[in-house]
Structure 1
Amino acid sequence: MSSTFIPPKSDANWQQLASTAVQKEDTSNWLGELVQETLALTRRLFIQLQRRPSTLIAGIIQPVMWLILFGALFQNAPKGMFGDSTNYGQFLSAGVIVFTAFGGALNAGLPVMFDREFGFLNRLLVAPLASRFSIVLASTIFIVSQSLLQAAVIVAAAAFLGAGLPNLAGLGAIALIILLLALGVTAVSLGLAFALPGHIELIAVIFVTQLPLLFASTALAPLSFMPKWLQIVATINPLSYAIEPIRYLYLHNSWNLGNVVMQAPWGAVTFGGAILMLVGFSFVAVLSIQPLLRRTLA
């Protein structure tokens, strides 16, 4: 009778299998710890906001006042002066939504900067964290969530003031646009928080940046009102690529990615093209701060 001989598995194979299993377990544990750390740090930021909600309240009251005051200021403007808008409040709503999200995201670096100055960041850096990038992820989640909440309140206020309300798909598109813009601006702000020496310098950058970017965009006036040089600047400004698609949603019930939302000096910008510009802006912003974060959080 013949029998088949099965050679025993070598110790090397068993060691390789055991090593693979350990690596998978380590990866699973690392991801779980990263999520836990990020959620804990995010919860800390929300607790701070709950204890001192003045920033959130001011970030909602100010844009609502803009809607009321600017809408009343230009309520007697001739029809057609601001494109297809039935009133200036409808035209202004998109700009207020975007600028509020932009302003909140630009302040994203302040909590990190204060943690640096008060020594809490140093405690985190010496703590046994799975990844120090959880500090950045927590700040990003907090700011993006706050921006979406503020945008929702402003959309509701604009609807109450007569600007109308986009359909459900349009509201989803607004959320996506705000998410992309807030992600890119938050990355820039966090990079500044790690690069600048103190909060005075960061606040100075915020003050110097906010209003020029507002006026050098289509938030308050269409491109046709601007001189040629300002039109070029406005079409470079990422805010314009967030404002115009949202404005189109307010003015049109039906839309698609091929609809033209802005006539730039160099050509027509479609809805999809504006979204791609925001994706590119966010990608470049996140990518550009990676070397700085690696040096700081190493």
Structure 2
Amino acid sequence: MGATLVLFKREVLKWVNRRAVLAMSIVTPIFWIALFGKSFNILNILNSMGANVDPRMAAAIREAVARAVERLFGTTDYFTYVATGMLAVFALFQSMSGAIGVVFDRRIGYLTRLLVAPIPRLSIFMSKVLGTIFRITVLSGILLAVAYGMGAEFKPGLGILDLATTWAVIALLSLGLSSIFTGIAFNVDNHEVLFSIVNLANLPLMFTSSALFPREQMPSWLQSLAAVNPITHAADLARYFLIGKQVEDPVASLAYLAGAAALLTIAGYALARRGLREA
């Protein structure tokens, strides 16, 4: 534990001292929710069907559309839906970003110095993973605060327990994703190769989840992929606790997410051990 904490502190200080990286980590998700969430206003698009008709009919159309949108998204504000779903996507992107640091540590020789020191291999691996989870925790809090300031509509009576449970959900997702990507990074000695793997994985993982659109509206084959995607379960649970959107079985989703995190962590450490032996 001592070695893990020392290396974890190094990861945190490295992130905080690189102010350009810190700033971009904050600005990127804000751009996502601000530009995509605000510009793609589904309610206004559908309400345009009531243009140039009798005002009473237009009012009836708007009311029917609002009810349909609320059933579909759990809120009449698509921005709220995207902002809460982006917590899970943000964990995905930051997990990939954290793994890239492993390759640069190898290239500058820092990883070699760790390997010749009397440090458990598990401490090297876990310090990277915990550093990534710390970054995601801090930046997710900032993202939620910004989303609230931009008009996200959280459920009435939102409390500390809801926020803590949401943090636990995002932390589980971050643990699994950062572990597997970090494990892969320990087996790669070229950042271009890792960038290729990251670019191959990020969009499919994001678009086969419910982060941007409800699973119920996807084609059947895509619904099957979304059902096993841990990002789907994390996004749905985040909305369940933050905006009150109903989930078929929140306990089962939480159990699935915990199981996926455990399996990905074990697989990631197995990959890391292999890479560290060959380093």
Q: Does the 8 A contact of 1:46 with 1:142 survive in 2?
A: yes
Tell me the residue number matched to 1:112. Answer: 102
Tell me the residue number matched to 1:243. Answer: 235
Tell me the residue number matched to 2:222. Answer: 230
Deviations 1:92-113 (A, max 9, x none): 1221111111110122221111
Mapped pair 1:200 → 2:192: yes
Tell me the residue number matched to 2:27. Answer: 61
- Counterpart-to-counterpart distance in 2, 1:297 and 1:83: 45
Amino acid at match of 1:46: V
Q: CA deviation at 1:284?
A: 0.6
Q: CA deviation at 1:194?
A: 1.6
- Counterpart-to-counterpart distance in 2, 1:233 and 1:163: 28
Deviations 1:25-61 (A, max 9, x none): xxxxxxxxx41x2222222222222221222322221
Mapped pair 1:136 → 2:116: no
Mapped pair 1:93 → 2:83: yes
Q: CA deviation at 1:205?
A: 0.8
Q: How many residues align?
A: 250
Q: CA deviation at 1:157?
A: 1.2
Q: Does the 8 A contact of 1:187 with 1:286 survive in 2?
A: yes
Give the aligned CA root-mean-square deviation in angstroms: 1.9
- For residue 184 of structure 1, the aligned residue among 176, 179, 183 is 176
Q: Does the 8 A contact of 2:230 with 2:257 survive in 1?
A: yes
- Counterpart-to-counterpart distance in 2, 1:89 and 1:292: 38
Tell me the residue number matched to 1:157. Answer: 146
- Counterpart-to-counterpart distance in 2, 1:115 and 1:74: 40
Q: CA deviation at 1:185?
A: 0.5
- Counterpart-to-counterpart distance in 2, 1:126 and 1:89: 50
Deviations 1:100-137 (A, max 9, x none): 111101222211111112221111111133x2321112
Q: CA deviation at 1:145?
A: 0.6
Structure (1 or 2) with the larger CA radius of gyration:
1
- Counterpart-to-counterpart distance in 1, 2:204 and 2:121: 34
Q: Residue 109 of structure 1: SS of its match in structure 2?
A: helix
Alignment TM-score, normalising by the size of structure 1: 0.78
Q: Does the 8 A contact of 2:173 with 2:261 survive in 1?
A: yes
Deviations 1:203-249 (A, max 9, x none): 11111111121111111111232111111111121100000011122
Q: CA deviation at 1:276?
A: 0.7
Amino acid at match of 2:268: I
Percent sequence identity is 30
Mapped pair 1:168 → 2:147: no
Q: Residues 222 and 292 of structure 1: is their aligned pair in 2 closer, same or farther, counting only changes over 3 Å? A: closer
Q: CA deviation at 1:83?
A: 3.0
- For residue 289 of structure 1, the aligned residue among 268, 271, 278 is 268
- Counterpart-to-counterpart distance in 2, 1:145 and 1:289: 18
Tell me the residue number matched to 1:74. Answer: 40
Tell me the residue number matched to 1:209. Answer: 201
- Counterpart-to-counterpart distance in 2, 1:250 and 1:42: 30
Greater share of residues in helix: 2
- Counterpart-to-counterpart distance in 1, 2:164 and 2:216: 29
- Counterpart-to-counterpart distance in 2, 1:98 and 1:249: 14
Amino acid at match of 1:158: A
- Counterpart-to-counterpart distance in 2, 1:137 and 1:228: 38
Q: CA deviation at 1:251?
A: 2.7
Q: CA deviation at 1:159?
A: 1.3
- Counterpart-to-counterpart distance in 2, 1:183 and 1:84: 27
Amino acid at match of 2:161: A
Tell me the residue number matched to 2:59. Answer: none
Question: What stretches of structure 2 of length at least 5 have no aligned partner?
Answer: 46-64
